């Protein structure tokens, strides 16, 4: 087995060339992306990197090649930045980029496809029902709790940052929850609710060398870890070290690495998980391939616990920028 990802590697900022930090974009997560990108840009510049802001909503991607950029740090979130489409464009431009490649990005962005891969690999994820566009009639929708029980979660399968998500407590709430999710995605994912402790675990590196960072335990007011509590509220508690027993922390890290490798992720990522209180079972919820890098973000928090500062983390991620087939 190869050694774990080397966080102490020597990196020459000048050798990285002219760098574009992609931020903003057109997704529902534009506001968060601008916050992430601004932080990354400042961090890279502080390390001596020739880094520049680039908003794909304002400039065509071809300008990256025309302006002589050597590599790209992707600080975009959601569709058009995290779903494989941008990665495919950068592959065609032959511009190395941070994070996962085309296929892993596309699969991880789709929570339903992610679940199918994980189940095929024997990895635990909550039970679910997928409602497709022709299945949103009231009779079909209100029958979902008969399969999954109550409460349950309704969400768009291809959005992030808790956008369009609802916790449904009763049959009468199903229709409104499905309608909200359908505003963001033609498909609607209904998922078994896992009552317990919300956890997240970042990963750095690729393949067998990938390394899981310390687990973060999330304590949101009333268990409501929504968009506001993720990015703007100071009421959410984040615990790193997590306070979990060592064997549970290790199991969360093991499952996270297995989930990351099963999807073919590289560079970095962050798994969201739940630890069910009734039996201490751990369930994988989703994999983020372009996690937030804001002041409230969890990857920098976990990295600090591992002895990796924000500026160093950004430099490490940039140094890993590559292509799906870098040998061409």
pLDDT tens, position by position, 107-127: 999 999 999 999 999 999 999
pLDDT, mean of residues 152-165: 87
Contact (Cβ atoms closer than 8 angstroms) between residue 274 and residue 201 = no
Q: Looking at residue 222, what is its pLDDT?
A: 64
139 CB-contact burial (10 Å; exposed 0-12 / middle 13-18 / buried 19+): exposed
| Residue 131's pLDDT band (cuts 50, 70, 90) | very high
Catalytic, 270? Answer yes
Active-site residue (options: 27, 36, 242, 288):
288
Residue 139 above 80 pLDDT?
yes
pLDDT, mean of residues 250-279: 98
Contact (Cβ atoms closer than 8 angstroms) between residue 292 and residue 36 = yes
What whole-number distance in Å separates Cα of residue 76 and Cα of residue 320? 17
Q: Looking at residue 295, what is its pLDDT?
A: 77
| Residue 325's pLDDT band (cuts 50, 70, 90) | confident
Q: Looking at residue 48, what is its pLDDT?
A: 98
Active-site residue (options: 231, 249, 264, 290):
231
pLDDT tens, position by position, 203-213: 999 999 999 99
pLDDT, mean of residues 157-176: 89
Active-site residue (options: 27, 33, 105, 161):
161
Catalytic, 30? Answer no
Active-site residue (options: 29, 110, 249, 311):
29
Catalytic, 171? Answer no
Residue 168: strand pairing partners: 152
Catalytic, 110? Answer no
Task: Lowest mean pLDDT of 136-145, 220-229, 282-291, 319-328, name the range.
Answer: 220-229
Active-site residue (options: 91, 251, 272, 311):
272
What percent of the chain is modeled with pLDDT above 90? 88
Catalytic, 238? Answer no
Average pLDDT of every residue of the chain: 93
Active-site residue (options: 82, 83, 159, 286):
286
pLDDT, mean of residues 221-247: 72
Answer CATH for 13-99 from 3.40.640.10, 3.40.190.10, 3.40.50.20, 3.40.50.620? 3.40.50.20
Q: Looking at residue 227, what is its pLDDT?
A: 45
Catalytic, 162? Answer no
Catalytic, 292? Answer yes
Active-site residue (options: 292, 297, 302, 310):
292
Q: Looking at residue 31, what is its pLDDT?
A: 93
Do β-strands 166-168 and 152-155 pair in parallel, antiparallel, or remain unpaired? antiparallel
Residue 164: strand pairing partners: none
Catalytic, 91? Answer no
DSSP state of 2: P
CATH class of 107-124+195-316: alpha beta
* Domain residue limits, the chain: 13-99, 107-124+195-316, 128-192
Q: Which fold has domain 128-192?
A: Dna Ligase; domain 1 (3.30.1490)
Q: Looking at residue 231, what is its pLDDT?
A: 44
């Amino acid at each position: 087995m190869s050694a774990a990802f080397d966080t102490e590697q020597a990196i020459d900022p000048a050798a990285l060339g002219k760098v574009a930090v992609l931020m903003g974009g057109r997704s529902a997560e534009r506001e968060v992306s601008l916050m992430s990108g601004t932080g990354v840009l400042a961090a890279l510049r502080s390390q001596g990197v020739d880094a520049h802001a680039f908003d794909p909503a304002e400039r065509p991607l071809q300008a990256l090649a025309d302006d002589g950029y050597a590599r790209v740090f992707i600080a975009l979130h959601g569709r058009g930045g995290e779903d494989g489409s941008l990665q495919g464009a950068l592959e065609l431009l032959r511009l190395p980029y941070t994070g996962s490649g085309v296929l892993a990005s596309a699969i991880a962005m789709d929570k339903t496809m992610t679940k199918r891969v994980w189940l095929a690999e024997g990895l635990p994820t909550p039970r679910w029902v997928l409602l497709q566009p022709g299945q949103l009639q009231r009779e079909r929708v209100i029958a979902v709790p008969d399969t999954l029980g109550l409460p349950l979660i309704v969400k768009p399968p291809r959005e992030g940052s808790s956008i369009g998500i609802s916790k449904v407590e009763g049959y009468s709430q199903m229709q409104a929850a499905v309608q909200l999710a359908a505003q963001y995605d033609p498909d609607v994912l209904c998922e078994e609710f896992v009552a317990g402790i919300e956890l997240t675990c970042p990963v750095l590196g690729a393949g067998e060398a990938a390394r899981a960072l310390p687990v973060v335990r999330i304590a949101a007011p009333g268990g409501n870890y929504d968009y506001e509590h993720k990015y703007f509220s100071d009421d959410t508690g984040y615990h790193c070290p997590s306070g979990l027993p060592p064997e549970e922390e290790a199991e969360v890290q093991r499952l996270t690495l297995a989930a990351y490798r099963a999807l073919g992720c590289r560079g970095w990522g962050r798994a969201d998980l739940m630890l069910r209180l009734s039996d201490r079972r751990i369930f994988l919820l989703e994999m983020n391939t372009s996690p937030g890098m804001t002041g409230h973000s969890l990857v920098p928090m976990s990295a600090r616990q591992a002895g990796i500062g924000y500026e160093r983390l950004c430099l490490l991620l940039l140094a890993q920028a590559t292509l799906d087939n870098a040998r061409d």
